[in-house]
Structure 1
Amino acid sequence: MMMRPLAILVLSLSAALLGSAPRADEVSTNAPATVSVPAEFDALPDAQQKQLKKFAGQWPQLTDSQRQHIVQGLERWNQMTPEQKQRAGKQFKRWRDLSPEQRKHLRKMHKRWQQLTPEQKKQLREQVKRFRELSPEQRQLLKQRFDLQRKLRRGG
């Protein structure tokens, strides 16, 4: 699946802003609360076993972290409204349709986003909002200028 030009530009703009992102050791992390997840699939509550049955065969081979991530995802899923579930399903399909290189790039961008300060995130959101308010012609002109600057920075 091809990424929409707007998505590519937004990701590229975020990459430019992220160049000044703080180092990971300068950022406080708020890790989600850990959930106790049994190593044995049969030890899960019946309702979770039913929803996670596709993981039953590989459950013993998963790391504690992977099992915990799966159970936390299930808990988030169960708290979603039908509209949120539909949106999440569409997002998952888009993710699944990305090439491995695109997924790798997005993971890298997500990691960089997590390292931004709240003020940097606010700035970036405002820039994206302003970009979306531009006419298609203005967006194209800005994209062309951005592509040229990026090419010049790379020595091309």
Structure 2
Amino acid sequence: MDGNIIDTVMARIKERGGRVTVQRLAIINVLMRLDHPTAEEIYHFMQDDFPTLSFTTVYNTLKSLKELGVVHEHYQDERSRFEITEKPHHHFHCMKCDKLVDIEPDKISVDLDPDIKAAFSPLESKVILEGICQSCREHDRASLEDGRPL
């Protein structure tokens, strides 16, 4: 993401009646630097620059940015990961290293049964594939070849 995303995000916050605060800007900057972070990861990342910042403030700011439609929350294993994105997309979750990877929407297709469409009127679909990422598979293969435990 580039510098224009910050302008877009700030405009969206203002359009929806929100205020652009120092905490919001700082968290937006962290979201742009980290890959699908949890609230805890954002909090720890910000500690050096904002030593008086509380975890509650980080969490509440993320929730308010989500309500403003600026941040997307992905629930995973009893915790949430956050991201700023302009376009909908799917994800792959590595069950070994816990990484969450973006997948372009045109790489996965979802065909809904007409009964589902009629019963629920879905507006969008989000797919999360789960498995073991290539990096973890390569690490496991190298460990087996070297006789090291996985």
Q: TM range, normalised to the smaller chain?
A: under 0.3
Q: Output the TM-score relative to the length of structure 2.
A: 0.22
Bigger relative contact order, structure 1 or 2, given CA contacts below 8 A and separation 6+? 1
Q: Output the TM-score relative to the length of structure 1.
A: 0.21
Structure with bigger strand share is: 2
Q: Which has the larger radius of gyration?
A: 1
